[in-house]
């Protein structure tokens, strides 16, 4: 979102009712006891699938791993939110090799030989951005209007895009799916709708003026699900997020160009 519009991400205030309907999105604060921290026991090749009601701390404890290590191994930032169906690695990812340090060169009284001239190294090619993950969803724009806020990776207040428009204009489902949440229980999102498209992909629609679908409703891409509004926002706008296995991704990489 824009810097002036600061909203809490879905994870910050996930209520119990939302957890049940969404498949229990769980937010766990990593805590360590006051005593010495137990040494983590990595399990190479092993993973754990998040179940309804699980927290990061509970999974870590059950597998003899500190919550801090489990979060680090899976690149899970604060506030350490996990989601049902998410697969957590129970071992650190193999890192790059560290170059061995060289012993110091022996001292010599003779004048050092001139270093041979070298050609300047060619600039490395610019890596192209990775292709978006296949979603199996025929994504469509959820609303008409001006794009006023963009996704920023790693920025908790900018986990989606913001689309401005006149109040009451239609908000549409971005893809076929099932409504798993329709309510106003998440602070900062106003009247919110969440659609589950398949086992890995969700989309969220916030700040609506009026919700037109309930939990359990089967919706089609392009079907109107709400009216654009300003609930929980300083102006009429739609906040739209796309999530893969609970992690936000840039919606603009999946929506068609316009």
Q: Which pLDDT does position 37 carry in this prediction?
A: 44
Backbone phi, psi, residue 178, to 5°? -125, 135
Question: Do 158 and 246 have their domain in common?
Answer: yes
Q: Are residues 155 and 249 in the same domain?
A: yes
pLDDT digits (tens, 9 = 90+) for 108-160: 454 555 555 565 555 554 444 556 788 899 999 999 999 999 999 888 778 99
**pLDDT score at 79:** 64
* Residue 132 within a domain: no
Asked whether residue 232 is assigned to any structural domain, the reply reads yes
Whether 109 is covered by a domain: the verdict is no
The pLDDT score that the predictor gives to residue 99 is 33
Q: Name residue 51's beta-bridge partners.
A: none
| Structure tokens that stand for 204 in this block | 């969220």
Cβ-contact 52, 23 below 8 angstroms: yes
Averaged pLDDT of the chain = 77
Question: Of 90, 77, 79, 85, which is closest to residue 52 (Cα–Cα)?
Answer: 85
Q: Residue 220 sits in a domain of what CATH number?
A: 2.70.70.10
DSSP string over 39-74:
PP---TT-EEE--TT--HHHHHHHTT--HHHHHHHT
What are the pLDDT digits (tens) for 200-256? Answer: 999 999 999 999 999 999 999 999 999 999 998 999 999 999 999 889 999 999 999
**8 Å CB contact between 193 and 179:** yes
228 close to 170: Cβ distance less than 8 angstroms: yes
Least confident of 92-106, 184-198, 227-241: 92-106
Enter the tokens of residue 222: 């392009």
What is the predicted pLDDT for the residue at 40? 84
**Is 152 found in the same domain as 85?**
no
Residue in 127, 128, 165, 130 with CA at minimum distance from that of residue 144 = 165
Task: Tell whether the model's pLDDT for residue 189 goes beyond 50.
Answer: yes
163 and 232, same structural domain? yes
Overall number of domains in the chain: 2
**Residue 78 is part of a domain; what is its CATH number?**
3.10.350.10
Tokens 């190294």 found at? 121
pLDDT at 25: 39
Give me the half-sphere count of Cα atoms (radius 13 Å) on the Cβ side of residue 56: 27
**What residues pair up with 183 in beta bridges, in sequence order?**
192
Say yes or no to pLDDT of 28 above 70.
Answer: no
Rounded Cα gap, residues 61 and 30, in angstroms:
11
Q: CA-to-CA distance for 51 and 26, rounded, in angstroms?
A: 9
Do 168 and 244 have their domain in common? yes
CA dist 180 → 5, 192, 193, 207, 219 (Å): 26, 11, 8, 17, 11
* Residue 172, helix vs strand vs coil: strand
Q: Is residue 128 part of a domain?
A: no
Range of the domain at 208: 146-253
CA angle 207–217–197, rounded 5-degree value: 75
Secondary structure of residue 61 in the 3-state scheme: helix
* Kind of pairing between the strands at 237-244 and 161-164: antiparallel
């Amino acid at each position: 979102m824009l810097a002036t519009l600061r909203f809490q991400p879905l994870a910050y205030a996930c209520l119990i009712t939302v957890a049940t309907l969404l498949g229990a999105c769980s937010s766990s604060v990593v805590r360590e006891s006051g005593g010495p921290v137990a040494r983590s026991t990595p399990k190479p090749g092993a993973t754990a699938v998040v179940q309804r009601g699980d927290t990061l701390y509970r999974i870590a404890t059950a597998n003899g791993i500190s919550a801090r290590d489990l979060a680090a191994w899976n690149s899970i930032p604060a506030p350490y939110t996990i989601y049902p169906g998410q697969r957590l690695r129970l071992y650190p990812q193999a890192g790059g090799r560290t170059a061995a340090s060289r012993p110091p060169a022996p001292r010599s009284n003779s004048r050092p030989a001139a270093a041979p001239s070298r050609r300047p190294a060619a600039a490395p090619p610019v890596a192209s951005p990775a292709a978006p993950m296949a979603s199996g969803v025929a994504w469509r724009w959820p609303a008409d209007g001006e794009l006023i806020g963009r996704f920023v990776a790693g920025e908790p207040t900018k986990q989606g895009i913001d689309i401005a428009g006149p109040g009451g204009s239609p908000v549409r489902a971005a893809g076929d799916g099932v409504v798993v949440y329709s309510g106003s229980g998440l602070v900062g999102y106003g009247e919110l709708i969440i659609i589950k498209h398949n086992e890995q992909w969700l989309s969220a629609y916030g700040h609506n003026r009026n919700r037109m679908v309930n939990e359990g409703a089967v919706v089609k891409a392009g079907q109107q699900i709400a009216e654009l509004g300003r609930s929980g926002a300083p102006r009429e706008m739609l906040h739209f997020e796309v999530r893969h296995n609970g992690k936000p991704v840039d919606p603009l990489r999946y929506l068609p160009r316009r």
